[in-house]
Structure 1
């Protein structure tokens, strides 16, 4: 019993140490906009949402909205791809 409680007491800090070991000591990638520094992940999220909305509008205008069965999945996938490509482009 005593060994089990000792393992439980040490497992949480050890797990946290292992999970946080990949974090860099430097700050997150940032972009200077209008004299202030903004995290790049905010820009990635905004561009992903804009890409998803643009995809939805293009589907409606082209008439494909009536024929495609998984429009939400398609719009989300395009948004995630746009956000990931933006991160690869801007995130050092």
Structure 2
């Protein structure tokens, strides 16, 4: 049968944990972007899209390790 990944029960349905971790990463990157705009860092930051993309990935992976131990 093979090993199944962790799932999250949500309103009676089961969702893969990577979806939750991806959403955590994306939402966190958006919040960090808003903070950077207020602080004036966003205007002078080079390659913004790449920076925010990798920020979302790093936060998503960190949340996966911290929440699910994977």
On whether the aligned pair clears a TM of 0.5, the verdict is yes
Q: Which has the larger radius of gyration?
A: 1
The TM-score, its normalising length taken from structure 2, stands at 0.80
- Give the TM-score, by structure 1 length: 0.64
Equivalent residues, number: 69
> Does 2:44 correspond to 1:58?
no
The answer for the alignment partner of 1:85 in structure 2 is 62
Q: Of residues 71, 78, 81 in structure 1, which corresponds to 2:48?
A: 71
Task: Please report the RMSD computed on the Cα atoms of aligned residues, expressed in angstroms.
Answer: 1.8
Unaligned runs of 5+ in 1: 1-23
The equivalences for 1:2-41 within 5 A come to 25-41=2-18
Q: Distance in 2 between the 1:80 and 1:33 partners?
A: 23
Cα offset, 1:34, TM superposition = 2.9
Contact 1:49 1:79 in 2 (8 A): yes
Query: Runs of 4+ in structure 1 displaced over 6 angstroms?
Result: none
How far, CA to CA, are the matches of 2:50 and 2:10 in structure 1?
32
Segments of structure 2 that go 5 or more residues without pairing to the other structure are none
